[in-house]
Amino acid sequence: MPPSAPAPGQPTGVFVCFEGGEGAGKSTQSRLLREALEAQGREVVLTFEPGDTPVGAQLRRIVLSPETGDLSPRTEALIYAADKAEHVHALVQPALARGAVVVTDRYVDSTLAYQGAGRAVTDADLAEVERVARWATQDLRPHLTVVLDLDPAAGLARFEGRDRIEAEGPQFHERVRAAFLRMAAADPERYLVLDARAPVDEIAAAVTDRLAPLLAPQA
């Protein structure tokens, strides 16, 4: 059924997020979903994290450039939180408020998977990472999160050059993968887990089928 009517001042659009490890096809599926929804006459805002605002672009250069070198886990998490805060304020919330479908490549779950599980922080620190990320995003959560699951070795093999995060070792990326799957298992109503090795068109069809009940009927 379509989303229930929002309270006054709350977003009226639909928020969809693609998550998963490196090379899983998030950008491709985000684009295909936009094309499918625009063909239905819907307004779609396609976006990504980190870096899809002027401020975010500067933060992205800092946090992903190999030239940055080592950052403390706290510094890294706070940079990502700052990007998210600006992204939600400047782009996501305005689009949802006018009734658009927002499709983002990465969101809060990536912070929890990478800056939390990937960095192997303690449970207490992970709770703090989540608290900061939720505060930065005003606790705005996607209606649907699609996790594209892929063996990290297969995903990373698709890259020639690697940024700071992609260059982390295999155990880091295995922890990231496991974290995405744990989050999805804990809230199956809001998640769709798909095998990223499946044909691109099959994945796209599964996403549009799952999303359809969340979309308001066209006028």
> Is 3 a residue whose pLDDT tops 80?
no
Binding-site residue positions: 20-27
pLDDT value of residue 161: 62
**What pLDDT band is residue 155 in, cutting at 50, 70 and 90?**
confident
Q: What is the pLDDT of residues 4-27, one digit of tens each?
A: 334 444 457 999 999 999 889 999
Sorted by where each starts, the structural domains of the chain and their CATH numbers stand as 14-214 (3.40.50.300)
**Can you give the pTM of this predicted structure?**
0.89
120 token code pair = 């192997």
Give the integer Cα–Cα distance in Å for 97 and 186: 28
Binding-site residue positions for ATP: 20-27
CA-based torsion, 73, 117, 176, 88: positive or negative: negative
pLDDT value of residue 160: 62
Helix ranges, the chain (H):
26-39, 54-64, 73-87, 93-97, 108-110, 123-136, 152-156, 170-186, 200-211
Q: What is the pLDDT of residues 173-210, one digit of tens each?
A: 999 999 999 999 999 999 999 999 999 999 999 999 99
Closest CA to 168 of 181, 180, 155: 155
CA 36 to chain centre: 19
CA distances from 41 to 36, 183, 185 (A): 9, 32, 33
Q: What is the pLDDT of residues 91-114, one digit of tens each?
A: 999 999 999 999 999 999 999 999
Mean pLDDT, residues 135-156 taken together: 94
**Range scoring the smallest mean pLDDT among 117-126, 150-159, 207-216:** 150-159
